[in-house]
C-alpha cells in the first residue's frame, strides 16, 4: 500500500486492498485449511469434500497459492507450513481464537459509520462477559506467543526481582520474562476470567511456578506493591488520557524506589499524530470497540508520566521488525530514594542497635 495517496491510481490501489483479506477470510469461513490438513488434494476431490463449486474453489485456491498460504502443482493443492499449523483446527498450534477475533473485527469494521456517527463502540456490555473475556484472552495469547519472547530477549530487566504484568491477560509476556530471568517472580493482574486462562497457560510452563495472580480493576482499585517493574502492554490505548493518568498514579505508588514502569503500545511518533500507519489505524479499532480508547503520541504519554511523578522517561530501542509496534516501548523510572534519607535511616538503625 503506497501512502500518501496523490493520484487516482494510488487511491484505487489503496481501496482495492480489501480483496486479499476477503479471500483469506472466506477460506477461514469455509474451514479450507482444516479440510486440507496435512493431505495433498486434487481440486475436484477437495470441492466435493467441501461441498462447494469447483469453479469457485479453483479461483479461491489459486489466489491463496498466490499469497503463499497454499502450495499449487497443476490442479493439486496442499497447505503451506503456516496454514497446516496455525490455520488448521486439527493442529495443536492452531490459533483459532485469534482468527475468530480478526474475522469478527473484519465484519465489525463494515459498521464503522455507526461508531463515527455515535462516537460509541458497537457493543457496550460484551467486555465484562466472562465467556467473551475468556475467548479474548486466548486470542491475545495466540497473537503474542511468538512476539513476547522476542521482546523479552531485547528488554533489560537488570536488577529486577519482581514484575507486575498489569492488564497482562493470558500472562504471555509475564511468562516470557520469567523464562528469560530465572531469578524473577512475576504477578499477572487482570479480570478473574482472564486470569483463569493465564493459570491454564502457566500450568504448561516450568517457569509458571514463579507466576502469581492479582484479580482487580486497576481503574478503581489501588495496586498492592512494591514491584521493581510494572509492564503495561497494550492497555494504554483502551482508555482515555484521564483514565490513564489514574492508572499511572496507581502504578507509581506500587513501584519500589528506582522502579520502572514500562509501557508497550501503538505510539504515534509525529507531531500531527498520523504515523506509523498501524498506530493510526489502530485508533479506529478503539473507536469501534471501546468507550474512550485511542492511540497516543510518545510526547503526550511522556508528559502524563512526568505529571504523575516519574523522573525519567525514555524510548526503548528494539530491532526493526522484532517489535510488537514500531517504536512501541516507553520506559519511565521512579526516582531512587535520596541518599540523605538512606543515610539517616542507616544512622538511626545503628543508634537503635547501640542502645539495645
Ligand X SMILES: C[S@@+](CC[C@H](N)C(=O)[O-])C[C@H]1O[C@@H](n2cnc3c(N)ncnc32)[C@H](O)[C@@H]1O
**Between 144 and 294, CB nearer to ligand X:** 144
The 10 Å Cβ neighbour count of residue 335 is: 12
Closest Cα to residue 65, out of 92, 99, 103, 36?
36
**Between 221 and 343, CB nearer to ligand X:** 221
Quick one: how far is CA 338 from the chain centroid? 36
190 contacts ligand X (rule: CB under 6 A):
yes
* Least Å from the CB of residue 305 to ligand X: 18
Q: How far is CA 192 from CA 29, 65, 216, 232, 285, in A?
A: 31, 42, 8, 18, 24
323 contacts ligand X (rule: CB under 6 A):
no
Three cell numbers written together for 196: 483463569
The residue within the footprint of ligand X, chosen from 32, 178, 194, 229 (CB under 6 A), is 194
238 contacts ligand X (rule: CB under 6 A):
yes
The residue within the footprint of ligand X, chosen from 33, 87, 97, 169 (CB under 6 A), is 169
**Between 14 and 283, CB nearer to ligand X:** 283
219 contacts ligand X (rule: CB under 6 A):
yes
Sorted by sequence, the CB contacts under 8 Å of residue 36 that are 6+ apart come out as 46, 70, 77, 78, 79, 83, 84, 88
167 contacts ligand X (rule: CB under 6 A):
yes
Residue whose entry in the numeric block shows the C-alpha cell 516501548? 329
CA pair distance 62, 72, nearest whole angstrom: 8
The residue within the footprint of ligand X, chosen from 191, 210, 250, 252 (CB under 6 A), is 191
Q: Are 237 and 296 in contact (CB under 8 A)?
A: yes
The residue within the footprint of ligand X, chosen from 24, 64, 101, 140 (CB under 6 A), is 140
* Least Å from the CB of residue 356 to ligand X: 46
The residue within the footprint of ligand X, chosen from 83, 88, 97, 144 (CB under 6 A), is 144
**Between 282 and 310, CB nearer to ligand X:** 282
* Least Å from the CB of residue 319 to ligand X: 19
Rg of the chain (C-alpha set):
24
* Positions of E strands within 115-273: 162-166, 185-190, 211-215, 227-233, 255-264
Query: Per CB under 6 A, which region of 22-30, 44-52, 137-145, 329-337 contacts ligand X?
Result: 137-145
**What is the contact surface with ligand X in residues (CB under 6 A)?**
137, 140, 144, 167-169, 173, 190-191, 194, 217-219, 233-235, 238
Amino acid at each position: 500500500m503506497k501512502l500518501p495517496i496523490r493520484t487516482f491510481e494510488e487511491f484505487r490501489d489503496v481501496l482495492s486492498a480489501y480483496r486479499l483479506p476477503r479471500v483469506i477470510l472466506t477460506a477461514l469461513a469455509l474451514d479450507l485449511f482444516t479440510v486440507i490438513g496435512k493431505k495433498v488434494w486434487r481440486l475436484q476431490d477437495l470441492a466435493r469434500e467441501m461441498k462447494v463449486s469447483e469453479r469457485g474453489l479453483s479461483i479461491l485456491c489459486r489466489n491463496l497459492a498466490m499469497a503463499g498460504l497454499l502450495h499449487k502443482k497443476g490442479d493439486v493443492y496442499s497447505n503451506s507450513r503456516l496454514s497446516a499449523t496455525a490455520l488448521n483446527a486439527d493442529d495443536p498450534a492452531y490459533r483459532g481464537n485469534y482468527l475468530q477475533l480478526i474475522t469478527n473485527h473484519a465484519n465489525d469494521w463494515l459498521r464503522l459509520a455507526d461508531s463515527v456517527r455515535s462516537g460509541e463502540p458497537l457493543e457496550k456490555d460484551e467486555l465484562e462477559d466472562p465467556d467473551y473475556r475468556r475467548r479474548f484472552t486466548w486470542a491475545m495469547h495466540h497473537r503474542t506467543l511468538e512476539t513476547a519472547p522476542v521482546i523479552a530477549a531485547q528488554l533489560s530487566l537488570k536488577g529486577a526481582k519482581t514484575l507486575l504484568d498489569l492488564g497482562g491477560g493470558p500472562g504471555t509476556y509475564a511468562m516470557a520474562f520469567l523464562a528469560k530471568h530465572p531469578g524473577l517472580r512475576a504477578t499477572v493482574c487482570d479480570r478473574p476470567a482472564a486470569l483463569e486462562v493465564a493459570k491454564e497457560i502457566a500450568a504448561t510452563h516450568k517457569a509458571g511456578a514463579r507466576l502469581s495472580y492479582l484479580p482487580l480493576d486497576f481503574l478503581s482499585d489501588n495496586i498492592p506493591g512494591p514491584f521493581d517493574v510494572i509492564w503495561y502492554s497494550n492497555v494504554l490505548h483502551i482508555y482515555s488520557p484521564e483514565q490513564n493518568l489514574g492508572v499511572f498514579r496507581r502504578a507509581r505508588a506500587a513501584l519500589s524506589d528506582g522502579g520502572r514502569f514500562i509501557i508497550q503500545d501503538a505510539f504515534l511518533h509525529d507531531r500531527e499524530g498520523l504515523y506509523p500507519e498501524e498506530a493510526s489505524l489502530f485508533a479506529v479499532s478503539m473507536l469501534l470497540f471501546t468507550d474512550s480508547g485511542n492511540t497516543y503520541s510518545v510526547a503526550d504519554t511522556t508528559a502524563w508520566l512526568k505529571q504523575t511523578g516519574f523522573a525519567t522517561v525514555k524510548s526503548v530501542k528494539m530491532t526493526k521488525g522484532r517489535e510488537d509496534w514500531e517504536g512501541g516501548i516507553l520506559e519511565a523510572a521512579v526516582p531512587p530514594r535520596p541518599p540523605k534519607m538512606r543515610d539517616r535511616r542507616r544512622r538511626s538503625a545503628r543508634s537503635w542497635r547501640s542502645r539495645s
